[in-house]
C-alpha cells in the first residue's frame, strides 16, 4: 500500500496565516523556547494534554502543592513575557 505524505508549506502565508498571525506565532514560540524543559513539560501536560494538577503530580511523582506553585510561576512568567513582547511589537 502506498502512502502519500503531504509536505507542509514553508511559507506561513501559504497556509492562510496572516502576517499578524505569523508574528504572534513567532512571539509565542520565542517565549516558550526560553522555558526550561520542566517548565515546558508542565505547560504541555496541563494545557496541551489537559491533565489535572493531581494527574500531573502523580505522573511526575511530586506533591500537588509543588505542581500548583510551579504552574502558577510559569503562567506568571509567560504572562509577563507575552506582555513585554506585545509592547515591543509594532502592531501592539
Determine, yes or no, domain membership for 66: yes
All three cell numbers of 1, joined, read: 500500500
Determine, yes or no, domain membership for 14: no
Determine, yes or no, domain membership for 82: yes
Residue predicted with more confidence, 29 or 90: 29
Determine, yes or no, domain membership for 67: yes
Q: Rounded to 10 degrees, what is the CA torsion of 71, 73, 77, 78?
A: 20
Q: What is the span of the domain harbouring residue 54?
A: 31-88
- Tell me which H or E stretch contains 87: helix 64-88
HSE (side-chain half, CA atoms, 13 Å) at 62: 14
Buried b or exposed e, range 44-78, using 16+ CB within 10 angstroms: ebbeeeebebeebbeeeeeeeeebeebbeebeeeb
Determine, yes or no, domain membership for 47: yes
Q: Share the mean pLDDT of the chain.
A: 78
Beta carbons within 10 angstroms of residue 39's beta carbon: 17
For 54-65, write each residue's pLDDT tens digit: 999 999 999 999
**Which domain CATH number covers 75?**
1.10.10.10
For residue 71, name the pLDDT band (cuts at 50, 70, 90). very high
pLDDT at residue 47 tops 80: yes
Q: How many structural domains are present in the chain?
A: 1
Q: Which of 42-46, 66-70, 76-80 has the lowest mean pLDDT?
A: 76-80
Determine, yes or no, domain membership for 72: yes
Q: Average pLDDT in the 18-25 region?
A: 73
Amino acid at each position: 500500500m502506498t502512502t502519500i505524505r503531504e509536505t507542509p508549506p514553508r511559507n506561513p502565508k501559504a497556509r492562510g496565516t496572516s502576517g499578524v498571525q505569523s508574528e504572534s506565532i513567532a512571539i509565542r514560540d520565542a517565549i516558550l523556547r526560553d522555558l526550561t524543559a520542566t517548565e515546558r513539560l508542565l505547560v504541555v501536560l496541563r494545557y496541551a494534554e489537559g491533565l489535572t494538577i493531581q494527574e500531573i503530580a502523580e505522573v511526575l511523582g511530586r506533591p500537588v502543592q509543588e505542581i500548583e506553585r510551579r504552574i502558577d510561576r510559569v503562567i506568571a512568567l509567560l504572562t509577563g513575557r507575552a506582555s513585554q513582547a506585545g509592547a515591543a511589537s509594532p502592531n501592539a
